[in-house]
C-alpha cells in the first residue's frame, strides 16, 4: 500500500511539478528532459497495450512502417511486458499494471522451453518484474521451471551455459548470455538452491577468461569444444568482424559484470565491469551524444554519417549498467555523469518518439543485426526496456 502511494506520488510530482507533496524528499530538482519522458512513456505504453494482443508482442518497426509482431518463443518477448511493469512504476498508471499482468501471463508456456539461454530475457524481464512489484506468488512456478531449464544448459567441462542450439557451432557461448545470470542469482535466493548461483558464478568466470581482449573489449561468440572444454574458436555473429567490438555486446558485458558483482561480491567481477566501462567511456569513436554506432570498429562513425547507424539499445543498456555501477564504487560520480548524458540524449527529440508515432515504441534509432540487413535504425523492444529501467535507477539514485 505504502509502495503504491509512493509510485503514484512520484508520478504525480513528475507530471505536474513538485507542487503538493511537501513531505516528499526532493533532493535534486528533476532535469527538464526527465519531466517530458513521463508523458511520452505513459502515452506510448498505454496506447501500445490497447493496440497489441497478449502473446503477440511488438518487437520493432519494419522498413515499410508496419510493426514487427513476435510470438511467445521469440527471444525478445519478455521485454514488452517488462516495459509495461516499469511503465507502471514510473507513471503510477493502473491501466499499465493491468496490461502488464495480461501480457506477462500470456508467456506462461516459455517455462517449458529448453533450447536457448534467452530464458532470462524472456521470463525474468516479464515474470521477474511481475513478482518483484506485486509479490504475487502465482508468478513463481513459471519462474522456477524456467530457471531450472536455464541452469540445465550448463556444462561442467566447459564451465558455461550453452547459448544457442542453432547454427554450425560446437558449443557457442555469447557475451549476451551474461545478462541471463541475474535470473539464476535471484533463483538461488528465492528457491533456496545454491546450485543456481554456482552456475552463474562459473559462467561469469569462464566468460571473463575467454571472451575478452587486452583492451577489455569482447568477442561476441566463443565456441568451445565440448569434448575437451577448450576454446575452439572466437568469432562474431552480429558484429562487423570476428575481431571487432559490436556495440551491444560491449553493453551486455558491462551490464553483466556489474550485475554479477552486485549478486556475488566477487571483486574480479567489479574490476571487469570497471575495465569494460573504461573501454566504452574512452572510446575515440563514440559520437558526441554518447549513443554508439552499432559496432565500435565502423570507421566512418561520424555524427552525420548515414552509413553508420546508431544503436540506442546499446546506449540504454550502458546507461542502466553505469547507474548500477555508480552505486558500487567510491568514485561512482563519473559513471553517474556519463549515464546522465546518455539519458539526456535518449530523452531528446533526436531519439525520443513523439506520442502516437514510432509504432508506439518509446525510442528511435536502434540496430538489431546490421550485417543480416535486419532491424537497422529502428525502434526495438529491448531499447525501450533498458531505457525505462535506467530512468527508474536514475530517479532512485537522485531521489527525484
Ligand atoms: N541477444 C541478441 C542481441 O543482442 O541482438
CB of 274 shorter than 6 A to ligand 1: no
Identify the three-state secondary structure at position 196. helix
Q: Which three cell numbers stand for residue 303?
A: 555524427
Identify the three-state secondary structure at position 218. strand
CA-176 nearest atom, ligand 1: 1
CB of 111 shorter than 6 A to ligand 1: no
Which residues contact residue 65 at a Cβ distance below 8 angstroms, ignoring those fewer than 6 apart?
359
Residue nearest to atom 1 of ligand 1 (CA): 176
Question: pTM for this structure?
Answer: 0.93
Q: Within 13 Å and on the Cβ side, how many CA atoms surround 356?
A: 0
pLDDT of residue 29: 87
- Cα–Cα distance for residue pair 268/192, rounded to 1 Å: 25
Residue nearest to atom 2 of ligand 1 (CA): 176
Identify the three-state secondary structure at position 67. strand
- Cα–Cα distance for residue pair 277/394, rounded to 1 Å: 18
Catalytic residue numbers read 118, 176
| Residue 338 exposed, middle or buried by CB count within 10 Å (0-12, 13-18, 19+) | buried
CB of 223 shorter than 6 A to ligand 1: no
pLDDT of residue 300: 60
What is the CATH code of the structural domain delimited by 50-398? 1.50.10.10
Q: 10 Å Cβ neighbour count for 348?
A: 12
CA-252 nearest atom, ligand 1: 4
Q: 10 Å Cβ neighbour count for 116?
A: 22
CB of 248 shorter than 6 A to ligand 1: yes
pLDDT of residue 20: 34
Please choose from 176, 220, 251 the residue to mutate so as to test ligand 1's pocket, defined by most ligand atoms within 8 A of CB: 176
Where on the phi/psi map is residue 310: left (φ > 0), alpha (ψ -120 to 50), or beta? beta
Q: Which three cell numbers stand for residue 350?
A: 533526436
Instruction: Decide: 366 and 383 in contact? Cβ < 8 Å.
Output: yes
CA-249 nearest atom, ligand 1: 4
For the chain, which ranges sit under pLDDT 70? Answer: 1-27, 300-307
pLDDT of residue 1: 38
CB of 176 shorter than 6 A to ligand 1: yes
- Quote the ligand 1 centre to 388 CA distance (angstroms): 18
pLDDT of residue 212: 99
Summarize pLDDT for 137-188 with one digit per residue, the tens. 999 999 999 999 999 999 999 999 999 999 999 999 999 999 999 999 999 9
Summarize pLDDT for 122-138 with one digit per residue, the tens. 999 999 999 999 999 99
Amino acid at each position: 500500500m505504502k509502495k503504491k502511494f509512493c509510485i503514484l506520488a512520484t508520478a504525480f510530482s513528475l507530471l505536474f511539478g513538485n507542487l503538493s507533496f511537501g513531505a516528499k524528499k526532493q533532493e535534486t530538482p528533476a532535469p527538464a528532459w526527465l519531466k517530458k519522458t513521463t508523458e511520452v512513456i505513459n502515452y506510448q505504453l498505454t496506447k501500445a497495450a490497447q493496440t497489441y494482443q497478449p502473446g503477440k508482442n511488438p518487437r520493432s518497426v519494419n522498413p515499410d512502417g508496419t510493426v514487427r509482431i513476435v510470438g511467445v518463443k521469440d527471444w525478445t518477448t519478455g521485454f514488452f511486458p517488462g516495459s509495461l511493469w516499469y511503465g507502471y512504476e514510473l507513471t503510477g498508471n493502473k491501466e499499465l499494471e493491468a496490461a502488464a499482468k495480461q501480457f506477462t501471463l500470456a508467456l506462461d508456456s516459455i517455462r517449458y522451453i529448453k533450447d536457448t539461454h534467452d530464458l532470462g530475457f524472456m521470463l525474468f524481464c516479464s515474470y521477474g518484474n511481475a513478482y518483484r512489484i506485486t509479490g504475487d506468488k502465482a508468478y513463481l512456478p513459471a519462474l522456477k521451471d524456467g530457471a531450472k531449464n536455464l541452469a540445465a544448459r550448463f556444462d561442467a567441462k566447459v564451465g558455461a551455459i550453452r547459448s544457442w542450439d542453432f547454427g554450425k557451432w560446437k558449443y557457442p557461448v555469447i557475451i549476451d548470455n551474461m545478462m541471463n545470470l541475474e535470473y539464476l542469482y535471484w533463483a538461488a535466493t528465492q528457491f533456496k538452491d545454491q546450485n543456481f548461483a554456482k552456475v552463474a558464478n562459473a559462467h561469469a568466470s569462464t566468460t571473463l577468461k575467454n571472451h575478452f581482449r587486452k583492451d577489455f573489449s569482447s568477442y561476441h561468440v566463443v565456441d568451445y569444444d565440448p569434448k575437451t572444454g577448450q576454446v575452439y574458436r572466437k568469432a562474431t555473429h552480429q558484429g562487423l568482424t570476428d575481431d571487432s567490438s559490436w556495440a551491444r555486446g560491449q553493453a551486455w558485458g558491462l551490464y553483466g559484470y556489474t550485475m554479477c558483482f552486485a549478486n556475488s561480491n566477487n571483486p574480479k567481477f567489479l574490476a571487469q565491469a570497471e575495465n569494460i566501462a573504461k573501454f566504452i567511456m574512452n572510446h575515440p569513436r563514440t559520437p558526441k551524444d554518447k549513443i554508439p554506432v552499432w559496432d565500435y570498429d565502423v570507421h566512418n562513425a561520424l555524427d552525420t554519417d548515414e552509413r553508420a547507424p546508431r544503436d540506442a539499445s546499446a546506449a540504454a543498456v550502458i546507461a542502466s549498467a553505469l547507474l548500477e555501477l555508480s552505486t558500487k564504487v567510491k568514485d561512482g560520480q563519473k559513471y553517474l555523469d556519463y549515464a546522465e548524458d546518455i539519458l539526456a540524449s535518449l530523452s531528446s527529440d533526436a531519439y525520443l518518439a513523439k506520442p502516437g508515432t514510432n509504432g508506439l515504441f518509446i525510442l528511435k534509432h536502434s540496430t538489431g543485426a546490421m550485417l543480416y540487413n535486419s532491424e537497422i535504425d529502428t525502434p526495438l523492444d529491448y531499447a525501450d526496456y533498458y531505457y525505462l529501467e535506467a530512468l527508474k535507477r536514475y530517479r532512485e539514485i537522485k531521489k527525484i
